[in-house]
A = this chain, B = another copy of it.
Amino acid sequence: MTELNETHDPSLRSWVESANDEANGFPVQNLPYCVFRRAGAGDFRPGVGIGDRILDLDALAKAQPFTGDAARALAACQGPELNALMALGTAAWSALRLALSRALRQGSALRDTLEPLLVPQSEAEFAVPARIGDYTDFYISVHHATAVGRQFRPDNPLLPNYKWVPIGYHGRASSIGVQQHFPRPVGQTRPSQEGGAPAFGPCARLDYELELGVFVGTGNPLGRRIAMEEAESHVFGLTLLNDWSARDLQAWEYQPLGPFLSKNFASTISPWIVTLEALAPFRLPFQRAAGDPQPLPYLASSRNTAAGAFDIRLQVSLSTGRSREQGAPAATLSRSNFRHAYWTVAQLLAHHTVNGCNLQPGDLLGTGTLSGPDVSEAGSLLELTQGGKAPLSLPWGESRTFLEDGDEVTLSAECVKPNYPRLSFGASVGRVLPALT
């Protein structure tokens, strides 16, 4: 999906006026998917974002305005999840994008059909947009891996496998949500003296992780790998993902089988999936730093070298109980960019399936924390505060090492370049509630 087509024409404008406002980030060139309903009313259904509105695709499907592949794809946009659309593949996705682009452009003959089917985003509530069969989290920022590794192994921060293996592990699908408010997790932490009993209580080192999530479109049968050349054709789109982490629980539990209760209490995505096709104008070459090993052949393709990476700007911001009381704006904690990742989306799929593991429509792959090369670009408090040793000062007079009750973390992302409308990923918003007793 690196090819540009008429849907990427930067001069296109929509008859939905708010879509033409740069600040909004949902121009007719974006068309991100969600699952929504009018707050408290009716069934959840697929929608597509345009300006400050959502086009109700379930209702549109009933109107049957399209033909061919686009009609087939639109017919799959019914029910409370996008899995059926995700299963159809690139031809159907592209056809629906083109049909929606044409229908939402200024001068569209379908305006009268579509206009009654627009719902203000401010009146909507959102659901997780797919039935996520399996959730896998990767670890593809070498900057994050190095910064975290340094806290455990100062002399040897990066393990020997890191530059060869796209490190990943399975996560919990059931606790993924949108706009989550969740209680601070409780659990065991390392004994204060060696050989003693562990402590038990509310997590004292609660953190966020700034990630992107990759929604799998078409899957692969068990036993058949996905080759690099085809990998991106299996990807439906990208979302924001906050992989909340309980650092003190993690340090005690993670050997030898990896993180478990330190991660699976909540993971918050954005309601929006920006399609791979919408991101075509923001592709970048993928290159390894001098001295780094080249990927093994099963992780390499000419297409990946030419345009495997993405220019997606990322941001984390924080509000607290006190800041909201004072009416202070949320504080930006860090900015990063997906372009700094050590592995590409295509490599994640090729690696995940090289052993025959089957992916299914709606599966979610997290990138891992997307820290950039500079310490100010770190995607977690663990890094920003040097493991809690260097508190962050917040503009309204508080400071933080790790998250406190009432803290609300917002992840956002955007694609920006000259002479092209700004694309937004919406936001992942989650808030920490006090631990349950």
Check if B195 sits within 8 Å of A160, measured CB to CB. Answer: yes
Measured between beta carbons, the chain B residues less than 8 angstroms from A357 are 172, 174-175, 261, 264-265
Measured between beta carbons, the chain B residues less than 8 angstroms from A298 are 200
A10 at interface (Cβ–Cβ under 8 A)? no
> In residues 116-134 of chain A, which contact B (Cβ within 8 Å)?
133-134
Indicate with 1 or 0, residue by residue over A310-341, a CB within 8 angstroms of chain B CB atoms: 00000000000000000000000000000000
A98 at interface (Cβ–Cβ under 8 A)? no
Measured between beta carbons, the chain B residues less than 8 angstroms from A170 are 169-172, 260, 264
Check if B355 sits within 8 Å of A246, measured CB to CB. Answer: yes
Residue from B160, B182, B259, B363 within 8 A of A257 (CB atoms): B259
A356 at interface (Cβ–Cβ under 8 A)? yes
Residue from B167, B255, B260 within 8 A of A253 (CB atoms): B167
Which chain B residue lies CB-closest to A363?
A: B174
Q: How far is the CA of A351 from the CA of B186 in the complex (A)?
A: 10
Which chain B residue lies CB-closest to A249?
A: B355
Task: State whether A194 and B356 are in contact (beta carbons under 8 Å apart), knowing that A133-B173, A252-B165, A258-B257 are contacts in the complex.
Answer: no
Q: Which of A62-70, A106-114, A219-227, A376-384 contacts B (4 or more CB under 8 A)?
A: A219-227
Q: Is the interface of A mostly helix, strand, loop or mixed?
A: loop
Measured between beta carbons, the chain B residues less than 8 angstroms from A395 are none
Whole-angstrom distance from the CB of A203 to the nearest CB of chain B? Answer: 8
A198 at interface (Cβ–Cβ under 8 A)? yes
Whole-angstrom distance from the CB of A52 to the nearest CB of chain B? Answer: 30
Check if B197 sits within 8 Å of A258, measured CB to CB. Answer: no
Q: How far is the CA of A149 from the CA of B183 in the complex (A)?
A: 35
Whole-angstrom distance from the CB of A130 to the nearest CB of chain B? Answer: 13
Whole-angstrom distance from the CB of A221 to the nearest CB of chain B? Answer: 10
Measured between beta carbons, the chain B residues less than 8 angstroms from A171 are 170
Q: How far is the CA of A171 from the CA of B160 in the complex (A)?
A: 24
Task: State whether A257 and B352 are in contact (beta carbons under 8 Å apart), knowing that A183-B223, A198-B164 are contacts in the complex.
Answer: no
A354 at interface (Cβ–Cβ under 8 A)? yes
A159 at interface (Cβ–Cβ under 8 A)? yes
Q: How far is the CA of A194 from the CA of B256 in the complex (A)?
A: 22
Which chain B residue lies CB-closest to A222?
A: B175
Check if B254 sits within 8 Å of A256, measured CB to CB. Answer: yes
A406 at interface (Cβ–Cβ under 8 A)? no
> In residues 163-191 of chain A, which contact B (Cβ within 8 Å)?
164-165, 167-175, 177, 182-183, 185-188, 191
Residue from B160, B168, B253 within 8 A of A194 (CB atoms): B160
Which chain B residue lies CB-closest to A435?
A: B356
A236 at interface (Cβ–Cβ under 8 A)? no
Whole-angstrom distance from the CB of A174 to the nearest CB of chain B? Answer: 5
Check if A261 sits within 8 Å of B175, measured CB to CB. Answer: no
Which chain B residue lies CB-closest to A203?
A: B355
Q: How far is the CA of A223 from the CA of B430 in the complex (A)?
A: 14
Whole-angstrom distance from the CB of A239 to the nearest CB of chain B? Answer: 19
Check if A169 sits within 8 Å of B257, measured CB to CB. Answer: yes
Measured between beta carbons, the chain B residues less than 8 angstroms from A360 are 174
Closest 6 CB pairs of A and B: A258-B258, A185-B355, A170-B170, A169-B257, A261-B355, A257-B258
A-B contact pairs, 8 of them (CB 8 A): A134-B172, A174-B357, A174-B359, A175-B222, A197-B293, A198-B296, A200-B298, A261-B352
Residues of A within 8 A of B (CB): 133-134, 136-137, 139, 149, 159-161, 164-165, 167-175, 177, 182-183, 185-188, 191, 194-195, 197-198, 200, 203, 222-225, 246, 249, 252-262, 264-266, 293, 296-298, 351-352, 354-360, 363, 433, 436
Given contacts A246-B355, A254-B258, 11 further A-B contacts (CB under 8 A): A137-B257, A159-B255, A161-B188, A167-B256, A170-B264, A175-B357, A183-B223, A187-B355, A225-B436, A262-B355, A356-B436
